[in-house]
Amino acid sequence: MTVEQQFSTVRTDISGHLIQDLVMKFGTPTYVYDAQTVRDRIEQLRQFDVIRYAQKANSNIGVLDLVRKNGVVVDAVSSGEVFRAVSAGFDYDGEPDPIVYTADIFDREALDLVVEKGIHVNVGSPDMIEQYGQRVPGGEITLRINPGFGHGHSAKTNTGGESSKHGIWHEQLEDCLALAAKFDVSVTGLHMHIGSGTDFEHLSQVCDAMLQTALRVGDTIKMISAGGGLPTPYRDSDVGLDVDRYYQLWNRTRKQLEAGFGHAVSLEIEPGRFLVAESGFLLTEIRAIKKMGRNLFYLVDAGFNNLARPILYGAYHPMSIAFKGEPTHETQDVIVGGPLCESGDIFTQQEGGFVCSRELPVATVGDYLVIECAGAYGYVMSSNYNSKPFSAEVLIDGDKTHLIRKRQSPADLIRGEVIPD
Please, are residues 42 and 384 in contact by the beta-carbon 8 Å criterion? no
Rounded to a whole number of angstroms, the minimum distance from the CB of residue 27 to ligand LLP is 25
Rounded to a whole number of angstroms, the minimum distance from the CB of residue 251 to ligand LLP is 19
Rounded to the nearest 10 degrees, the angle between the axes of helix 35-44 and helix 61-69 is: 40
Rounded to a whole number of angstroms, the minimum distance from the CB of residue 231 to ligand LLP is 8
- Residue nearer to ligand LLP on the CB measure, 153 or 358: 153
**Residue whose C-alpha is closest to residue 320's, from 2, 4, 13:** 13
Rounded to a whole number of angstroms, the minimum distance from the CB of residue 2 to ligand LLP is 26
DSSP string for 127-192: HHHHHHHHHSTT-EEEEEEE-S----SSGGGB--STT---SEEGGGHHHHHHHHHHTT-EEEEEE-
**Cα–Cα distances in Å, from 70 out to 36, 40, 102, 120, 312?**
11, 10, 22, 22, 32
- Residue nearer to ligand LLP on the CB measure, 54 or 111: 54
Angle at CA of residue 8, ends 7 and 13, nearest 5°: 105
Please, are residues 42 and 70 in contact by the beta-carbon 8 Å criterion? yes
> Can you give the binding site for ligand LLP, defined by CB under 6 A?
54, 57, 102, 157, 159, 193, 196, 227-230, 270-274, 309, 376-377
- Residue nearer to ligand LLP on the CB measure, 146 or 196: 196
* φ, ψ of residue 46 in degrees (nearest 5): -60, -25
d(CA 309, CA 381): 8
**Residue whose C-alpha is closest to residue 87's, from 61, 110, 63, 112:** 61
- Residue nearer to ligand LLP on the CB measure, 261 or 385: 385
What's at 131, amino acid-wise? Q
Angle at CA of residue 235, ends 229 and 236, nearest 5°: 130
Rounded to a whole number of angstroms, the minimum distance from the CB of residue 6 to ligand LLP is 19
Rounded to a whole number of angstroms, the minimum distance from the CB of residue 292 to ligand LLP is 28
Q: Which residues of 313-328 are buried (b: 16+ CB within 10 A; e: fewer)?
A: bbbbbbbbbbbbeeee
Rounded to a whole number of angstroms, the minimum distance from the CB of residue 219 to ligand LLP is 25
CA atoms in the 13 A half-sphere facing the CB of 374: 30
- Residue nearer to ligand LLP on the CB measure, 228 or 318: 228
d(CA 12, CA 14): 7
- Residue nearer to ligand LLP on the CB measure, 229 or 280: 229
- Residue nearer to ligand LLP on the CB measure, 132 or 234: 234
3-state SS class at 295 = strand
- Residue nearer to ligand LLP on the CB measure, 17 or 153: 153
3-state SS class at 24 = helix
Catalogue the active-site residues.
Answer: 341
Rounded to a whole number of angstroms, the minimum distance from the CB of residue 124 to ligand LLP is 8
What's at 151, amino acid-wise? H
